[in-house]
Structure 1
Amino acid sequence: MGKQIKFGVILTYISTFINIITGLLITPITLRLFGQAEYGLYSLALSIMGMLFLFDFGFSNAIVKYVTQFKEKDNKKEYENINAMFLVLYSIIGLLAFSCGMFAAFGADKIFANGLTTEEVAKFTIMLQIVAVNLGISFPLKLFNGIIIAHEKFIFSKLITVVRFIINPLITVTILFMGFSSIGVLIAISIVNFLLSLIDVYYCFVILKTKIKLHKFDFRLMKEISMYSLWVFIASLADFIYSRTDMFILGALVNTAAVAIYNVAEVINGLYTKLTMVLSGFFLPRLVQMVSKNVSNHELTTMFIRVSRIQFLLAALVLTGFALVGNEFIVIWAGADYVLAYWVALLVMSSRFIPVVQVLATSILQAKNEHAFQSKLYLGVAILNLAISIPLALTYGVIGVAIGTLVGKIINTIVMNFNYAKVGIEMKRYLKEVFVLFIPMTLVFIIGFILKRLVDVTTWFDILLFALVLTAFYGGIMFRFFMNNSEKDMLVKPLRKIIVRKAS
């Protein structure tokens, strides 16, 4: 168990690193090989696929919970039955997703008549059919990854993730260099993902000796599973509305170029989230322990402050750096046609700044079983975001939907901070100790803005040099005036160990 978790965590960070690197390296290549319109079409197809994956309804979490539960009971019959129930459930979901995908494909000429040309609609119809088949097959196979995780085989599960993160971008570039279009890429990636899922199936049946047999369909248990999955699904639905429907709106009401620009911004936002969320996972196990021991809200707040300050230090550096040289980065990285992606990314990154800083709050709410309000609010604000994004898209195009996301996130963040206080978190102390870091963040931005006025930033070397100078200045101010002793130790102690090892 210890080994599985340890190496599973290591592989998680390896996969995150690979995902960031491939995103930075492969995206500009695919942008140029696809072309803006084709890339927008491909992004839109992936967005529709993400929408249909909502048919999961949060059952992925339930698979791990309930398969583990019956496995631990060591009741062979119940274990076989729960596996079979989930297979039946996911087969039905797969059929439903397939049907919806085909319905969208045959209605594409009406849904996207204002945003796509006749030729694009014809190609997009084929892409949606591929998506529908992909989903119809993928859903039943999701069971086997859940079984692997329930058996705590984290190393194998994460290895498959690493392989997927490496193979998919390489396949994409290879297919494009061979002269195929987005349809060929979609087919190739679907085949690769299907083959990787078959490896999960093999591992379950051959290595884990998994048995699947339906003895009876327990409707009482299925009701319990559904209630468990409800709030997970609602949170996922809200997150999807925030992150994916913007591209759907742009595809339906604007054009494929707007979709492509927005997707480039989303790649940047994805990298921002990954870079700023890496450390937070280290503190989660300790938080769970604290809550299970019924520690005071004062201690929980202390932990919340500690993690938030670290998150702030990381997120502020990335956001400030992007605000200063992100425009030049995108022009060099993606091309001048995607310059609007800078403003979209900056708006969305800004909207996510406080939620990134307060990432541990969700875990606290879940541990205290107080997360239902968050899910309801998140869904309500997401629907509001969708409602205001449509007229904003018609008026301001790609910038409009980013403004809608910003407004929604601000509302959600303000209301949730009041809710954190309601459930016992000492928010006055929190705001005093965490938000003081806005002072050095603002100072560094002003100095960076002045510096940029004095020097030209036009090449990769210029961006790198500017980023290094900004990071050194930012780190110096933070370390000297704003970081506490615990935060300083996190930086100094590893360096001391390295120095001691080299000296010995």
Structure 2
Amino acid sequence: MNNNINQLKWGAILSYFSMGISLAIGLVYTPLMIRLLGKNEFGLYSTVSSTISMLGILNLGFGSGYIRYYAKYKRNNDMDAIYRLNGLFLMIFIVIGLVAAVCGTFLSFHLDWIFDEGLTGAEYQKARILMLMLTVNMAISFPMSVFTNIINANEKFVFLKIFGIITTVIGPMVNVPILLMGYKSVALVASSLVLGLIYHVVTVYYVLVVLKNKFVFRSLEKGIFVGLFSYTIFIFLNTIIDQINWNIDKLLLARFIGTAEVAVYSVGYSLYAHYMQFSTAISGIFTPRIHRIVNETQDDKETQRVQLTELFTRVGRVQFLILALIATGIIFFGQVFILDYWAGPGYENSYFVTLLLTIPASIALIQNIGIEIQRAMNIHQFRSVIYAVMAIVNLMLSIYLCQIYGAVGSAIGTAISLILANGFIMNIFYQKKCNIDMFYFWKEIMKLCRGLVIPIGVGIIMHKYIRVMSILSFLVSVLVYMIVYIVSMWIFGMNQYEKNLIGKPFKKLKYRG
């Protein structure tokens, strides 16, 4: 038990450390990539990446299903069943990988169906090469994802996070020299393919040698398919919805306007993606614990409500503390950052894209462990249906708005769907069906909002009266704002648990010194 707690603790710490490194690298690497690739090629690279990522729907939601069945067998200490489960899932994902290879190859030779006249002849030729290479990467990643799921189910978060940090650092270290030598997007994808293969080899070794897991392909429990299908069908639907919400905008912009506008949207989305990672990093660590709570309290709904509400609120408050700092920072400093120090002139609308994606999504991001709670309870169907309706709304709005307002129009469509689905409908569902006290949750979040008053006031004054003239003055302004935010939250927002999260490491360092 202590080992599991340490894995959770260090997994969370390493998650945020990884996010910090990823953000720092992104702040340096992304503008370099934009300038060396050029606006149109960067837009093409982003468009093709988004197109091929839509094949991720072939996962069918089975990845989450593995952890659910693993928790069930682990509770009974049935290792033979776990080994058969490993074999079954590996076979499933090998088949999925083959299907992905066929679909990706087909799309590569029919790109005109997707982009129509949105790409030039040269762009079509390069897009086809990129598509084929990314298809190979996708086809391999499907069966290899089983090994990552096994490591995650065994709660070996420290290994996953440390290895993730290493790969995050190595990628740009390889890609920057490639770009400086004059190579373009095809070379970037080739290097990613090679690094991905190395990553997969290491995870396979860890599962087979370190964890000593086995894959049994005989006496497979074919009856699992029925339960697995009923469990994952709505996760699959939700995956399709996510692909529509987060990738369709780029495809629409490429089709109706061109790759340059895709680049504008991609810059704004890139900042949002970093923002989102700071939420999803910690929530993923609690997946095994959520399934354990739900399984162990099936016959005691009151205990379940207390434990789930406590976990939901505690994680949500920590996520809010981090995300509110980043979100308000983007509001006050994002425009200067994007235009003067990151993407450069020509990306003015990227700031508004970032705001339209970031602020509406914040409600869902501080509640994202609720997704796994629904899956653990096998009541995730409602969310999928609601999100399906919202995805259609998003698609219809974006088709119309992107042709008028470009990248900003696409982001408006996404923002409206996020507010309706996450801001209203899902909160009612959490209260009524997920056994979570949402009134208590929002009461606790509002306590944190008291600490936002002073930072927002200071941010408005800085934005209005302080003119940033250099990178040094920009960094000083951001640092001052961060200090004001932390002090204000410490005094007016944080509870003792959150103060201890920050204070204990410093006390230990002081004691050791």
CA–CA distance in structure 1, aligned partners of residues 41 and 143 of structure 2: 31
Task: Give the conservation status (yes or no) of the 8 Å contact 1:5–1:154.
Answer: no
Task: Give the conservation status (yes or no) of the 8 Å contact 2:101–2:139.
Answer: yes
CA–CA distance in structure 2, aligned partners of residues 221 and 252 of structure 1: 42
| Alignment correspondent of 1:420 | 430
- Give 1:36-435 correspondences, 5 Å limit: 36-66=39-69, 72-75=77-80, 81-149=84-152, 154-204=157-207, 212=215, 214-215=217-218, 218-276=221-279, 292-293=296-297, 294=300, 295=303, 297=305, 300-301=308-309, 304-331=312-339, 332-412=341-421, 413-423=423-433, 424-435=435-446
Deviations 1:92-149 (A, max 9, x none): 2122111211221111134213321121111111211222232233323333434444
CA–CA distance in structure 2, aligned partners of residues 236 and 379 of structure 1: 10
User: Does residue 457 of structure 1 match 2:468?
Assistant: yes
SS of the aligned residue for 2:346 comes to helix
Deviations 1:275-332 (A, max 9, x none): 3556667877876676544416466545544443433333222211110110011111
Deviates more, 1:65-74 or 1:169-178: 65-74
Task: Give the conservation status (yes or no) of the 8 Å contact 1:328–1:458.
Answer: no
Check 1:189–1:285 CA distance in 2 against 1; reply closer, same or farther (3 A cut).
Answer: closer
Deviation at 1:51? 0.7
CA–CA distance in structure 1, aligned partners of residues 360 and 132 of structure 2: 35
CA–CA distance in structure 2, aligned partners of residues 367 and 171 of structure 1: 40
Task: Give the conservation status (yes or no) of the 8 Å contact 1:242–1:385.
Answer: yes
Deviates more, 1:432-441 or 1:381-390: 432-441
Deviations 1:13-55 (A, max 9, x none): 4433332222222111111111111111111121122111221
Deviations 1:229-266 (A, max 9, x none): 22332333322222222212222222111222222112
Deviations 1:384-421 (A, max 9, x none): 21222111111211001110111011001211122233
Deviation at 1:73? 2.4
| Alignment correspondent of 2:6 | 6
Check 1:286–1:277 CA distance in 2 against 1; reply closer, same or farther (3 A cut).
Answer: same
CA–CA distance in structure 2, aligned partners of residues 461 and 52 of structure 1: 43
Please report the RMSD computed on the Cα atoms of aligned residues, expressed in angstroms.
Answer: 3.2
CA–CA distance in structure 1, aligned partners of residues 117 and 406 of structure 2: 13
Structure 1 stretches of 5 or more lacking a match?
none
CA–CA distance in structure 1, aligned partners of residues 311 and 85 of structure 2: 38
Which of the residues 486, 490, 493 maps onto 1:479? 490
CA–CA distance in structure 2, aligned partners of residues 231 and 469 of structure 1: 46
CA–CA distance in structure 2, aligned partners of residues 179 and 224 of structure 1: 52
SS of the aligned residue for 1:337 comes to coil
Q: TM-score of the superposition, structure 2-length normalised?
A: 0.86
SS of the aligned residue for 2:223 comes to helix
SS of the aligned residue for 2:119 comes to coil
Deviates more, 1:29-38 or 1:371-380: 371-380
CA–CA distance in structure 1, aligned partners of residues 251 and 471 of structure 2: 33
Task: Give the conservation status (yes or no) of the 8 Å contact 2:448–2:494.
Answer: no
CA–CA distance in structure 2, aligned partners of residues 491 and 74 of structure 1: 39
Percentage of matched positions with identical amino acids: 34
CA–CA distance in structure 1, aligned partners of residues 439 and 151 of structure 2: 44
Deviates more, 1:89-98 or 1:445-454: 445-454
Task: Give the conservation status (yes or no) of the 8 Å contact 1:114–1:254.
Answer: no
CA–CA distance in structure 2, aligned partners of residues 286 and 64 of structure 1: 11
Check 1:151–1:476 CA distance in 2 against 1; reply closer, same or farther (3 A cut).
Answer: closer
Check 1:237–1:156 CA distance in 2 against 1; reply closer, same or farther (3 A cut).
Answer: same
